[in-house]
Structures are given as structure tokens and as C-alpha cells.
Structure 1
Amino acid sequence: MKVVLYLRVSTIEQAEEGFSIRAQKTQLLDYCRVNDYEVVEIYIDDGYSAKDTNRPALKQLLKDAEKGQFKAVLVYKLDRFTRSVRDLYDLLGYLSGFGVDFVSKQEKFDTTTAMGRAMIGILGVFAQFERELISERVRMGQEQKVKEGKRHGGRYPYGYDNEGKIIPHEFEVLRRIRHMYMKERMSYKKIAIQLNQEGITRRGYEWRASTVAMTLENPFYAGIIQYGERMANGKYPQRYRDKKIEVIRSIGDHEPVWTQEEYEEHYRLMHMRKGSGYSRKLEYWFTGLLRCGRCGSAMHGRLTTSRKRKDGSIVRTPYYICNRRKDNDTCRMPIFRQVHIEHLVMEYINNLQIDQALKVSEQRKIKKQQANIEKQIQKLKRDLESIKERKKKWQYMFVEELITADILRERLDEENSKEMELQQKLDELQSRERETPAIQNMLVSMADLWPVMNDEEKKRYSTRSLKRFEYIPQKKIQKV
């Protein structure tokens, strides 16, 4: 039978235990002569630990096993091959898949025999036990770290360096992302596009809708250390429910980007927009607003296939379903089309009479506020230009040796702090200025604007204009 020899020794073992490469080779060659084995190759890992399978000669052996050049692997002792029961089980399973047996001289472990093959099953039991034991120990250690307010491993997220200290310009990007999402009502995708167009990357990578969402959803930015995943609708993800694992959270000692109140605020908005899995698109204009008139639960959008066109394409119609009916079928509210709700909402709005005098008064008030905002914006821009000029002067004074490097750093830190504060105020005012036309539009009949709006505008307009309403079958909209 054609066999290959695998020899391994670490420097410590070679010195202390006498497992030299030469000694293993001599013993195995003698064993092959006695058993009439033909040695076709010898693989040697000299100075590599058996704690894992990341060894060059072992990797080459596994690649050659695929070519069918030998029928068995021979080692002097099991721990020469690996010290892990789990790795041994996986390696033997891999070799077996290519018809390669395994023989250990010292333990008389031989998969060419029935007894040897039965040992693989026993190893599988121990491998599973080892995996679960390691997993349990790791979780216990990570839980304890979280309870102490420490991170449980991994890299620090965007905004922090490797030591957990803040990176100012990345912190500003994070705050801006929240502002764009909450104040400007931009979608994840539009935020990503805007940042990418401005050349702002996420540590060398482009922003995507998914990374924007994960950033807003990350509790670490609110000063929270978490092990596991956050609850959604009172339920943990399936993998945690199966194992009955409690998600651990505590307050960390790092500097947060947002307050916990801000985090909860935008997290609720994210959850409302998602609509519990159904309303991930903006076709559902009334998600988060519409309530079941029978049980009071939220109603979420879903797409239902209605018919096929002549060209074979499928027409999918937006519907709404009661959350309790969807979750546990405890409510029998019928599923109904979005256009039906749209009709009732328009009917309700058309019946509202807006006092013209009030409308004119509000328009004048808004114009006055807008003029005041514009004055503040121009002043902030002038102040920012002044800061830039002062920074240049401080640098000039340092070059001319009028001040020391320490004084320069101190003055620049002060100027940068002022600049950051003013820029934040400017961003907020510019956002308010952009929102003013939208406020004016809300004074106009919603029924007049609705037909020319796209899905995103309808969703945004509904969220800003309406608070909450119920639908009761066979009845009109009931305001709450």
C-alpha cells in the first residue's frame, strides 16, 4: 500500500521530549518495512505547533490527497498530527472523502480496520463536546467583560482608533449621518450617495446603504457595550432563542457619539420604517401611522401578487396587514389594499377647511423666520472664515519663531474646537432653511400635492403631516 509519512516537531519538544524529526522518520520507516508499506512522500513541519492546522506541510499533504497519489497517512503519534480532537475528527473526515486512511504507530490507530473506523464516531462525540465547551468558556469570558463595561474583542468601529480614542473627523461624519437621517429625512441609500460624492470614505471603503444602517443601529455609538443582538418586537433572533441566551448590555467607559436618548429616538424611527420586515420599501406610505381598528395594533405593508401582464411581468399590489394577525393570528382584521386607505385619507383631508387668515399669518411668520435664519447663517460663515484666517496667523507666528510649538498646538486646538462648534450650528441652520419650503407646502391642500408626489415624498409627507389614525372596515377613517 502506498503511504506518506507526516513528521512534526516544535523547538521545545525537540529539546525536551526527544521527538526529533530524525527519530520519527527512523521509527516510521522501520514500521513501513515490517508492514510492507511503500513510502511515496515524506511531509515535514519543523518548528510548528499542533494547536491548529495552519502548517505548510500539512496543507500540502491535504492538497496531494485529492490527487489520489497515496492510500494512507502514517504518523508516529497522534499529537504529531494534531492536539485537538475536533481538528483530528475534521482531518480524518477530509482524508476519508478521498479514500485515504490514517495510521498512528504508537496508539495503534488504524482506519484501515473496522475498529479504527469506529473510533472516528467516538472522536466525533468528543469533538462536539470540545466545541461546546470552548464556546461556553468564551461566552462566559465575554459576558464578564461586558458586565465590567469592557469590549469583548474585535476591532473598534469607525470613529475610534485601535486604542478606543475618538477620531474627531470621523466623529463629525457619524453625527452628520444621524442629522441627515433624522433632520433631513434622507434614506440610507441617499446618505451613502451623498457621502461618496463628497469623497468621504469609510476607512478606504465606499459607504453603502447597509453600512449606514448598521452605523445608526450600533449601540456602541451610544456608549453601550453589548454581547448578542438587540431585541426586535420583544423577541431575540432565532439563534439566541434556541440556545436560551440572554443578550448582555452595559454602559462602557468610551466616549459616545450620541446620547442614549438620541440613539433610542433614531432606532425607533428605523424600526418604524422597516415595518417589522414587510415595509422595507417606501411603497407603504402609511406604515407607522395606520392602526388596526379592531385591536389597536400597528398595521404593516406587504406586497401581494395580483396578476400577470401580457408580457409576463408580475403586478404586485401593496396591502396592509394587522401586526397581531401576522404574528399569532389573534386578530381577524381583513387584509386590504393601500389604495383603499389612500382614498379614505384623501376624503378626510378634503373635508378639512383651513382658515385662510390663519394660512396667510403662518406664511408671514415663516418668511420672517426664514430671513432670521439666513442672517444667522451668514454670520456663522463669516465667523468660520475668521477662524481660518487666525489659524494661518498662528502658523505664521510659529514659522517666524514668535511662539513655541506647544503654544501653537494649544491655540490650534482652541480654534479647531470653536470651528467644530460653529460648523455644527451652521449645518443645523442650513437644514432648517431647507425644511422651510416643506413646511409651507404643508399649508397647501395635501390632496392637490399628492398626485404629483413620488413614493418617497408621499411617505415623508404622511409622516410629517399625520400622527396616527385607525381603519375600521365598512367605516371611515377615525382620528386618534
Structure 2
Amino acid sequence: MKRKLNNDKTILRVAIYVRVSTEQQAEDGDSIRDQLNSCETYIKAHENMILAGEYIDGGISGQKTKREDFQKLLSDVRANLIDLIIFTRLDRWFRSLRHYLNTQEVLDKHNVSWTAIRQPFFDTSTAQGRTFVNTSMAFAELEAQNASERIKGVFKDKVSHSEAISGRTPIGYSIVDKHLVPDKDAPIVVAIFEHYQAHSSMGETLRYMQDAFGIVRSRSSLKRMLQNKKYIGIFRDNESYCEPIITKELFYDVQRLLKLNIKTCKNRHDYIFSGLIRCVDCGYVMSAASNHNHYVRKSGEEVDHFYSVYRCHANRLHRCVNNKVFFESSIEKELLKRVRPELEQYICDYKLETAPVVQNKARIHKLQTKLSKLKELYLNELITLEEFRTDKADFEYQIEELQKEEQKPVKDLSSLEEFLKLDFENIYSSFTAPEKRRVWRSIIKEIQVNHHKNINIVFL
């Protein structure tokens, strides 16, 4: 509540708000200390003012409302602990008109005013003053957006010239002459990617990093590392931003495994097909679970039998018709029976399908030769200009269509062909569950099932 002095002047509880953005902290007259000194001097010059609190946000843009001390300030406003808020300039308060208007609504509700002490012409107590403030805020927002665009332009230019845009570098890289170059830790990066590819486990990879290299990371930090395209030399629109540390084949295989989002349950049970089985009826990946049967044999021996099953999670929420239970052992038997003939057929069909693409280079070369001869015919006046234009357009169209087909990526089937050379059917039973999981993930993209219990294998 406001108090009164002996001369009937109301005492105002004044909050000081200070904000600097990262690039402005070193500017003259804009530092935190300078803003605080100015505001404290202002309060001392008014005998009816007392300091209610100081709220300081450092290194935060005025276009954001998620500022820690700014939120504390609003909380104290709502608690009716403040009568007046002061700051040095209007752009310290906000640079977004929409955010300013939303905050002003809170201040009005609790009868809190504000003053920009270096810009005393701002006055929120009159309609004209509010209009002037709103107009100024609009220009302040425009200025901030223009500054943001200029910074983005600088960054874009740096990226196009393969220059580092900050001093922070991913593990395995150092900055030399403004460019990222692999350093002595580059082999560690390769080892981490290969370890994740082999185990498909975030937890296992985190333990490996700590035990082998003393690197402690969070799960989210490791995921960001594994998704960082700089490791294959790509950043934003620059396909040759820096020297790659790992191959594209390894990188994109790791991305495939990350999308499977394999999670280990609390009892650390290993599900062989976790993340691979997809319900065709609703499109969701099926959930894995462990079932337990306890029974007593005629001999009196008690037996515990554990087995893994897969169910459609959407069915539990009544959003899918697939209420079937798929036993892991049954899926294993089905795959072992079908995988070799179907994989052989898949490789054969793919090679036949892509054969014309491989032959396109010869066709394009032949058409380009015809174009050259056509030009000679025209220059030697053996054909008319109209004939030249018609035939030229036809050849160029054929070349363009062939080039489109040629640009289609051709899969590398060598790993699948190597798999077929293995006698995996006879040695499969000796594998552990994690080894079985790695085998199937090396050749299968997903296993599609439906409520009729049909199974379709989709290879990589």
C-alpha cells in the first residue's frame, strides 16, 4: 500500500528494471552499472520515492518476454508490491509492441506506472502519451527486427564462405583461420558414431564415452551430437562447409537408428524388434511388453516363463482396430523363413528398376553429340533456323528428362548382398538378444503388420 509523508505526498515504491542484450553490454552508456546508477540517482532526487527492488536481465533480447527478472518483476506487480517502474530508455523495457501491450494491461490492472528516465516525454497517464508510446514501440520493434536481419545476413555470408560464426566448436573440430578443421579428437567422434551404430543404445553409448574417453554428456547432448551435420561437412545451405570427420553412410545410418527411438524398459529387457514393428492400420510403431506365466508341472516343479509381445498402442486408446498380440518368437520364425528369398528378390527388382538410370549417362552423351552436329548443320546452312530450333528444343528436353532420372539416388546394396553370403540361419540361435536386434536393423527398415496378422518386410 502507498504511504504518505507529513506534507501529504504519497510515497511511491519504485522498481528499477535494467536490461542489456549481448552485443550491447560493452557499449558506452548502456552497461548494467550505468543503468543502475542512473536509476538510483533518479530515486534519490525524489523524496517521495523508495527503492522496492532491482530487476536485472543480462544478455537477453528485448523482443523476448521470457526474461527471468522481468517475470519476477511482474509477479511483484501482481502482488501489489510496486507503484512505479523506472528504466533508462524505452527500448530497455520492450522492443515488441505486442508484448508491451500485453504487459501494460497487467500494469494498468494493478495501478502501476512506468517512466523512461532518459526519455521523460514518454507518459502513459494520457491518451496522447499512450499513442506516442505505442508508435515509438512499433518503430523500436522495427529497428530490432532490422538489426536481427542484418545479423542473419552476416551469418549467412560467413556460412557461404565456410567461416565459423561463433567460438563454440563441436568435439573433434578446432577453429583455424576462421574455419573448422578436424583436430586430435576427431577419431573419438568416429568411435562414438560407430559405437552407437553397433549398439543402437543411447545409454550404452554414454557409458562408453565416459569409460573410454572420460567424456560426460547428457542424453539430449549426445543426440544433438549424433545429429550434427557438420560431421559430414554440411552446415545450413553449404554442402562443403568443413572437412568431414565421418562418412555420410555412417551418419545417415545413425539417423535411421535414432528415428527408431529404441528405449529400454526399467527391467532392462532386450526387445529384438523394438521400434521396427509398425501397425499398418493406424501407422503407429507397436509397443513392446514382457509377459510372465507361472505354472506347476506334474512333478511339482514350479516354472516361470517370460516371453515378449508387441501390441498396437493406439488400440489401447481405442483409436485402432488392430487388437492382435504379436509374439516375438513367432515373428522371428517368420523372418528366418522368409528373409533370404525376399531379400534376394528385393535386390533383383531394385537392380532392374535402376538399370535405366545407370544407362542414362551414355544416352545423355549421345544426345549432346547430336546437338553439336545439329549446330554444325545450321552453321553450314544445311538446315533452316526453324528446323534447328525445333530439333534443338527436342534434344534439350530429352536430356533434361534423362538428367532428372539420373539425379535419383541409387542405393548401395553391397551390405545387403554381403548379408546374403552369411550362413545366418544356422548361427542365429547362438546370438544374444542385442546381437539379434543389430542383425535385423542392419537389413530391415520396418516390419509392417495389420489386424489380420499379415506381416510385410520392408528392407533398407
Q: TM-score, normalised by structure 2?
A: 0.48
Q: TM-score, normalised by structure 1?
A: 0.46
Give the structure with the larger helix fraction: 1
